[in-house]
Amino acid sequence: PHSKREKAMADKSSPMMTIPTDAELIQAQADLWRHCLSYLTPMALRCAIQLGIPTAIHRLGGAASLPDLVTALSLPPSKAPFLSRLLQLLSTTGVLASNEARIYSLVPLSYLLVDGILVDGDASQAALVLCLTSRYHMEAAMGLADWFKKDIAQPVPSPFEDVHGATLFEESMTVLDPESDKLFNEALAAHDHMGIGTILRECHGLFNGLQSLTDCCGGDGTTARAIVKAFPHIKCNVLDLPRVINKAPSDGLVNYIAGDMFHSIPPAQVVMLKLVLHFWGDEDCINILAQCKKAIPSREAGGKVIIIDIVVDSSLGQMFETQLLMDMAMMVYTRGRQRDENDWSSIFAKAGFSDYKIVKKLGVRGVIEVYP
C-alpha cells in the first residue's frame, strides 16, 4: 500500500514521473543545499586571499598550524575558532591540504595564489579570483533571469552590460569604477599568460622553423617574451589596442604595435590568438580570423594561425563541468562563448581556412593549428 506522502505526490505528478524514494529525497535535499550554498566556496577563497592565508603559509615554510596563522595574519585570538572553520572548508574543497594534527599546507591550487612569486614564470592568479568574485560579477549573475525575459535588439548585450551599463575591459568600465577596472585588467593578464611555459614544453614543435609571429591581443608581451626566450630566432610582434600598448614595457625583445585586429593584423608567418576568441561571438570571430588569413603566407610557406583556447569536450569529466562554467561566465560577462570542436571547425571554414589540427589538449584548453 502507498503511504499518504506517495499518494499525494502521485496525484500531483505526471503518469510518467517516477516517485522518489525516501533515500533519494534525503540525497536530493543535501544536493540542493550544496548547490544553494556553493557560492560560499569562492567567497571563502576570496577571504583567504584578502587575509593573505596562502602567502602566510608559504612564508612559514609551506605548512602552518592554526595558532601560527592567527599570529602571522595578525588576527584577534578570539577569531581562531572561526578561522578554523574557514580552513576546514578550504581543505575539504581542495584549496589547502591538512592532516590529523590540523597542519595546513599549500597544494598546487593555493600555490597559484601566493603573492609575489612566479609559478613557472606565471604571475599569481589572486587577481582572477578577486575579479570573478567582485560585486560587479555577482550582480551581473543575479540579473540573469531578468536579462532572459527582455526582448533586446541585436547585438544582444551581456547581462554584465545590461546590469551595469558598462563593458568589461573597455573605457566605459574605467569611467564606472577605475579601481575595479584596474583589477579586472590585472586578472585578464594573469589569466591570459597562465600556462605558456607548459605550452612551450609540451608543444615544442609548434614553433620549430618559425621566423616571425604576431601575438594578437598580446597585452604587455609576457607570452611573446617567453616565446622569444625559448626560440630567439623568432621575431615577435605584439598587437593590442593603443591604451594597452602605451603601458607596455620596451625591453627590445618584442615589437609592440598599436592597432585593432578587426581592421588589420601585422604580417607574419604565424598569427597567434591565445585566449582571445572566446570573448567574441561567431561573426566577430570569423572577421578576426579573416584578418589573420590576410596576414599570413600560404600553408606551403609555413603560414598558419595558432589558437590556444578552450575546446569543450564532454569526455573530460570534471574538466567538462569547468568548461561549461567558463561558458556561462562568457555568457554572463561578455558577448562570447566557449566552443566544441564542431563549433571551431565551422568558424574556421567560414573564415576561408582549408584545414585545422588540434595539436594537443592541455587541461580545459586546446592548442589548434589552422591552415590557409
pLDDT at 110 exceeding the cut of 70: yes
Least confident range from 132-136, 200-204, 320-324: namely 200-204
- Does the fold of domain 195-371 match that of domain 40-117? no
- Amino acid 15 reads P
For the chain, report the end-to-end CA distance as a whole number of angstroms. 70
**Pick from 170, 265, 285: which is nearest to 215 by CA?**
265
Residue 10 pLDDT grade (very low, low, confident, very high; cuts 50, 70, 90)? low
The CATH number of 195-371 is which of 2.60.40.420, 1.10.287.1060, 2.40.110.10, 3.40.50.150? 3.40.50.150
Whether residue 172 is predicted with pLDDT greater than 60 in this model: the reply is: yes
Half-sphere exposure of 101 (CA within 13 A, CB side): 6
* C-alpha separations of 139 from 135, 159, 235, 281, 332 in Å: 6, 9, 43, 23, 10
Q: Which residues form the catalytic set?
A: 278
Output 335 or 195, whichever has higher pLDDT: 335
Cβ atoms of 271 and 333 within 8 Å: the answer is no
pLDDT on residue 18: 86
Q: What is the predicted pLDDT for the residue at 16?
A: 74
CATH architecture of 40-117: Orthogonal Bundle (1.10)
d(CA 28, CA 41): 20
More confident residue, 7 or 261: 261
Could you tell me where the beta strands, DSSP code E, fall in the chain?
63-64, 96-98, 104-106, 212-216, 235-240, 255-258, 270-274, 304-312, 339-340, 355-362, 365-371
The DSSP result for 299-345, as a single string, is TTTT-EEEEEEEEE-GGGTHHHHHHHHHHHHHHHHSS---EEHHHHH
Q: What is the pLDDT of residues 45-81, one digit of tens each?
A: 999 999 999 999 999 999 999 999 999 999 999 999 9
Domain chopping of the chain, boundaries: 40-117, 130-189, 195-371
Quick: pLDDT tens for 251-308.
788 999 999 999 999 999 999 999 999 999 999 999 999 999 999 999 999 999 999 9
All 3 cell numbers of residue 314?
564532454
Which residues on neighbouring strands pair with residue 268, listed in sequence order? none
CA 26 to chain centre: 35
pLDDT for 121 beyond 80: no
Q: Please write the tens of the pLDDT for every residue from 323-355.
A: 999 999 999 999 999 999 999 999 999 999 999
pLDDT of residue 349: 97
Average model confidence (pLDDT) across the chain: 92
Sign of the CA dihedral 117, 119, 120, 125? Answer: negative
Q: For residue 6, what pLDDT is reported?
A: 55
Residue 13, pLDDT > 60, answer no
pLDDT value of residue 350: 97
Taking the CA atoms of 116, 49, 325 and 135 in sequence, report the sign of the dihedral they define.
Answer: negative
pTM: 0.89
